[in-house]
Homo-oligomer: A and B are copies of this chain.
Amino acid sequence: MATVRVQAEPFDVGAAMAALGAGRNDIGGIGCFVGTVRDTAGGRKITAMTLEHYPGMTERAMAAIAAEAEARFDLLGCTLIHRIGTLQPGAAIVLVLAAAPHRAAALAATGFLIDWLKTRAPFWKKESFADGAAEWVAAHDADAAAAARWQHG
């Protein structure tokens, strides 16, 4: 029941949510997260963000993350859409949707999906600054810690 997509084009949150719920009346709640490009990083002005990925492995990794969420939570379906290419500040980068009979599972799965997507899917961000510099974003310890919350066993 998982939908996984990598695309350059913008996504339509309402359409993705409608597709997830289409033809079913057993959903009690849909949790959702949309990540967007901020216009500053470390106090410096960002003019653009470019996302590179590893075609093939990306889709595999995203499908594995979705399958893990469906195994851990009482889900009726989930959707992961990640954009690639060059995006402007304010643009949406990533969409996570998780549908469940009850809200607790929907919201927990949403958090899990974005935490794992940030640490287990092969995407890399490069920030372009107003002063002309362009730098690869370093991985955040906070993201690794957030993902580690979901470890068990």
Tell me, in angstroms, the Cα distance from A26 to B40 when the chains sit together: 7
Number of residues from A at the complex interface, CB < 8 A: 34
Contact A25 B13 (CB under 8 A): no
Given A107-B111, A146-B104, A33–B30 Cβ distance below 8 Å?
A: yes
Pick the contact of A38 from B89, B101, B107 — CB < 8 Å? B101
Tell me, in angstroms, the Cα distance from A76 to B110 when the chains sit together: 20
Given A103-B114, A104-B146, A25–B12 Cβ distance below 8 Å?
A: no
Oligomer: number of copies: 2
Closest B residue, CB atoms, query A107: B111
Closest B residue, CB atoms, query A34: B30
Contacts of A26 in B (CB 8 A): 38-40
Pick the contact of A28 from B12, B30, B35 — CB < 8 Å? B35
Tell me, in angstroms, the Cα distance from A106 to B34 when the chains sit together: 10
Contacts of A34 in B (CB 8 A): 17, 29-30, 32
**Does residue A14 face the partner (Cβ distance < 8 Å to B)?**
yes
Contact B36 A28 (CB under 8 A): yes
A: residues with CB less than 8 A from B are 12-15, 17, 21, 24-40, 89-90, 101, 103-104, 106-107, 110-111, 114, 146
**10 A-B pairs closest in CB distance:** A32-B32, A25-B39, A14-B14, A25-B89, A25-B90, A30-B34, A13-B14, A28-B38, A29-B35, A27-B36
